[in-house]
Amino acid sequence: MTRAATSVMRYARFFTLAGVRKVLDYGAGLLRNSIYLAEQGFQVYAADLPEQIKALSLHPGSSRLAGLLSVRDLPQTELGVDLVLSTYVFNIIATREKRGQYLENVVLNLKPGGFFLIEVNRSSDETPCTSVLRHYPGCDGQRKSYCSDDLDRLLVPLNFRRICHYYSSHALAAVYRHG
């Protein structure tokens, strides 16, 4: 099995000490983070596109999870989780409108005072844009990379405050608290 994201492994102990019990892995992919957190004692819900959820229902590790959810169901679920996890999902959402819906679903399913761990491709001023339309991070209306200030601009209006972040050679991971 593939290893969990570095940010998830890095912050798992912090989340345990902070009293996190219930987690939504929003854009669960192949369940690498979901299964890791379930093995650490968290109650984990994995959400992804309907066709991915259908495939994941056959995954041997899915039995360790609290549930598999279609992203289409998230506007109605209001899970009240302690943590929403988003690793490399935000970068691939095609439009501003869909990114806005994604963040609305994060807020709808997060309890007040809950945490949001978001990991994205990091911005690099050295990455040239070949598009004549816009600078690289915004090509074709889709953010390809972010810095911590970019995430703050998106999340602070939704009542999130950043409590920590770190950069790796290719990624930015940030933990926010809601409320």
Please report, for the domain that includes residue 68, its CATH number: 3.40.50.150
Q: Is the dihedral of CA 172, 110, 53, 32 positive or negative?
A: positive
At residue 125, the pLDDT reads 54
Could you state, in chain order, the average pLDDT of each consecutive group of 10 residues for the chain (179 residues)? 89 97 97 97 97 94 96 95 96 91 97 97 58 38 76 96 92 96
Q: Tokens 């491709």 map to which residue?
A: 121
| Residue 13 covered by a domain | yes
Nearby residues of 17 by Cβ (< 8 Å), 6 or more positions away: none
Predicted local distance difference test score (pLDDT) of residue 128: 41
* Biggest CA-to-CA distance, the chain: 49
Cα–Cα distance between 127 and 135 in angstroms, integer?
A: 10
For residue 1, tell me if it sits in a domain: no
- pLDDT given for residue 126 in this prediction: 40
Q: Which pair of tokens denotes residue 116?
A: 């949001």
Per the structure, how many domains does the chain have?
Answer: 1
Nearest to 11, CA basis, from 117, 122, 151, 163:
117
Q: Which domain holds residue 107?
A: 6-178
